[in-house]
Amino acid sequence: MQELFLSSPQIFVSIVFILSLLIGSFLNVVIYRLPIMMEREWRSQCQEITATPATDIPEGRFDIIFPRSRCSSCGTQITALQNIPILSFLVLGGRCGSCGEAISKRYPIVEALTAVLTAIVAWRFGFGWESAAAILLTWALIAVSVIDIDHQIIPDSISLPFVWIGLALSLFTPVSGAEVLFVEPKTAIVGALAGYLSLWSIYHLFRLMTGKEGMGYGDFKLLAALGAWLGWQMLPLIILLSAVVGAAVGITMIIVHRHDRNIPIPFGPYLAAAGWIAMLYGDQIVSSYLDYMS
């Protein structure tokens, strides 16, 4: 199998694409349930601190695995045949098979986006551990992006483990020289520190100047994770790309959609997109820029 994937990248990418559709379906579950799990945990902690019973916390187990997915309208359990990525949505006409309520188009969009981005990563890095690591980071970036769009939070349960994973991967940098993705331990450690402290500094400077909070602590931790994976050298590119795209999108929303400028716009998706681009093509972008400037 290994020889087949190495000799035929098209087969490897095709299999990755198909499997990633299933992962996209799983990411939809994570995106929906993780914020609810966090809210339940926060309420339980408040209950313990205040010693006041919280009557609005639903009873029963609720996590990523249990209970089985159900229609949010009629409560009917979704069968395995109704949960096939993209295909089930098309066959059902985008509606629940029991009550006919419309299913959010975001579910197939997340599944398709996961498959496409994962296939690009697989094609870029080829068959190997480096590709597996990059794919894992891609899935995490998709999850935190959509959660941040929905709730304007970036869960520590996703960002912090990837800080440690990035630092751990740096221990396996080949002696002969760094690969495309993995960086040396010193570079990873400085990247994590610089990633966190850079946005932390901007946050406090902005708050001192305006009296408002410009971003959340989740953004600091996400950039720290990207710094641990890609090294401190990629941080200027990530910050620049995310700032430019974020500013362009924000201005467009204000002008076209009359978005209230006082309503915050999540910054996590732009950091994630910039980090993903830097992971794949950061070295080429920086080299092209330096060549152009010289």
Task: Yes or no: say if 170 and 176 are a contact pair by the CB < 8 Å rule.
Answer: no
Q: What pLDDT sits at residue 49?
A: 78
Neighbours of 10 (CB within 10 A): 9
Taking the C-alpha atoms of residue 247 and residue 270, their distance in angstroms, rounded to an integer, is 10
Nearest to 232 by CA among 146, 136, 167, 156: 167
pTM: 0.90
Q: Which residues of the chain have pLDDT under 70?
A: 1-2, 4-6, 51-59, 174-181, 254, 256-264
Residue 67 DSSP one-character state: S
Per residue in 170-214, pLDDT (tens digit) is 998 764 443 456 789 999 999 999 999 999 998 888 888 887 777
What span, in angstroms and rounded, lies between the C-alpha atoms of 110 and 269? 14
In 3D, which of 82, 67, 2, 10 has the Cα closest to residue 36?
67
Q: What is the pLDDT of residue 175?
A: 46
What gap in Å lies between CA 141 and CA 244, rounded to an integer? Answer: 19
**Buried/exposed code over 184-205 (b: 16+ C-beta within 10 A; e: otherwise):** eeebbbbbbebbbebbbebbee
